[in-house]
């Protein structure tokens, strides 16, 4: 259980950490962490992300492209997480995305991307030695909000398809605040629609519907809470593998159903400000390390979170992690 009482001056000694280059997934919360709101508590968040790359993998070929230069993707994501019970939370997000390139003549795109809704539940919480072992499961769905053009790689706002996911989360947390977490998820994707009735992958297809490959995501996180649970620091190694697709052909553009693979490393800092109950600042960064048909992105994110009781539950303002 997490207490939000602050013990002043030691925390200010660590506020400088927030000014360093942010080190990945933002804990407003996320669908893949082991954090839950308590019953009746709601957390609101606003997250800004800046993603850029000037090299990418065309299949396994690592290259640049003078018609793109540096591709930049910016997003603003309002999020909300509600504690339905102490063991079940519901999360929703609706990011607005803008893409643009430094070179070439192709204009980027902007607009709302996909609705995201997730339900996360704690399945097991067992005392084990000097800590606790917990398991969680998250089911989620992504659905395009706007009628954005999916066949506009690499400028597209998203894949233009529904994505239904199931994620399992295992965590062991020591009483002193150090924890190790692992997660793996499977994503079932629906068809994507494009604005033409013919395209070529490894063969000719006469349809405006694109059959999308499913995907697997995974990750491992090492983290700790410090100063009476006021400061959280995490490092993470994660990846994505689509279950099918094809490689981008030489000098061709991206396409929704290509075989996307990547691994990344990054980290996160979250700090609860003294004197303002429930308010925190979050910052993160990650970089793609290996890939296939993706850009070698460097992603910086930062934002604010605030949680408060939406209805009385007979408890103090807490979250569980």
Residues 6+ apart with CB under 8 A from 13: none
C-alpha–C-alpha distance, residues 269 and 284, integer Å:
6
The total number of residues shown for the chain amounts to: 321
Please say whether the beta carbons of 78 and 49 come within 8 A: no
The segments of the chain whose pLDDT lies below 50 read 1-28, 315-318
Per-residue pLDDT tens over the stretch 196-222? 999 999 999 999 999 999 999 999 999
Residue 215 to residues 25, 77, 108, 308, Cα–Cα distance (Å): 19, 23, 26, 35
What pLDDT is recorded for position 220?
98
Residue 99 to residues 84, 113, 281, 297, Cα–Cα distance (Å): 36, 12, 26, 13
Task: State the sign of the Cα–Cα–Cα–Cα dihedral 294, 55, 182, 266.
Answer: negative
HSE value, Cβ hemisphere, 13 Å, CA-based, for 221: 32
What is the residue-wise DSSP string for 138-186?
Answer: EEEEEEE-S---SSSTTT-SS--S-EEEEEEEEEEEETTSEEEEEEEEE
Fold of 8-299: Lipocalin (2.40.128)
Instruction: Identify the three-state secondary structure at position 15.
Output: helix
pTM of the model: 0.88
Residue 59 to residues 21, 159, 216, 251, Cα–Cα distance (Å): 31, 18, 18, 11
> Which token pair is 20?
């360093």
C-alpha–C-alpha distance, residues 275 and 256, integer Å:
47
Residue 220 phi, psi dihedral angles, 5° rounding = -135, 135
C-alpha–C-alpha distance, residues 172 and 284, integer Å:
22
What pLDDT is recorded for position 313?
61
Per-residue pLDDT tens over the stretch 90-100? 999 999 999 99
Please say whether the beta carbons of 301 and 48 come within 8 A: yes
What pLDDT is recorded for position 293?
97
Instruction: Identify the three-state secondary structure at position 220.
Output: strand
């Amino acid at each position: 259980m997490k207490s939000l009482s602050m013990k002043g001056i030691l925390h200010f000694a660590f506020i400088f950490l927030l000014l360093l280059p942010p080190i990945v997934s933002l804990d407003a919360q996320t669908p893949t962490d082991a954090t839950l709101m308590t019953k009746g508590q709601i957390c609101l968040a606003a997250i800004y992300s800046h993603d850029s790359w000037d090299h990418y993998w065309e299949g396994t070929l690592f290259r640049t492209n003078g018609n793109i230069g540096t591709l930049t993707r910016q997003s603003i994501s309002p999020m909300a997480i509600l504690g339905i019970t102490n063991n079940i939370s519901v999360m929703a997000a609706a990011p607005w995305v803008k893409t643009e390139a430094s070179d070439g003549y192709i204009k980027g795109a902007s607009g709302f991307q996909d609705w995201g809704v997730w339900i996360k539940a704690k399945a097991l919480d067992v005392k084990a030695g000097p800590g606790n072992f917990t398991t969680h499961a998250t089911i989620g769905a992504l659905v395009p909000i706007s009628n954005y053009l999916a066949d506009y790689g690499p400028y597209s706002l998203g894949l233009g398809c529904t994505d239904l996911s199931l994620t399992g989360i295992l965590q062991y947390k020591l009483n002193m605040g150090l924890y190790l977490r692992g997660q793996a998820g499977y994503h079932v994707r629906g068809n994507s629609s494009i604005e033409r009735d013919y395209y070529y992958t490894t063969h000719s297809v006469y349809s405006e519907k694109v059959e999308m490959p499913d995907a697997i995501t995974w990750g491992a996180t090492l983290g700790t809470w410090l100063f009476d649970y006021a400061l959280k620091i995490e490092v993470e190694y994660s990846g994505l593998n689509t279950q099918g697709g094809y490689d981008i052909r030489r000098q061709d553009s991206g396409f929704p159903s290509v075989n996307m693979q990547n691994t990344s490393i990054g980290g996160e800092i979250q700090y609860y400000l003294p004197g303002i109950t429930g308010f925190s600042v979050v910052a993160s960064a990650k970089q793609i390390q290996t890939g296939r048909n993706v850009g070698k992105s460097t992603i910086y994110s930062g934002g604010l979170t605030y949680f408060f009781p939406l209805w009385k539950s007979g408890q103090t303002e807490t979250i569980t992690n």
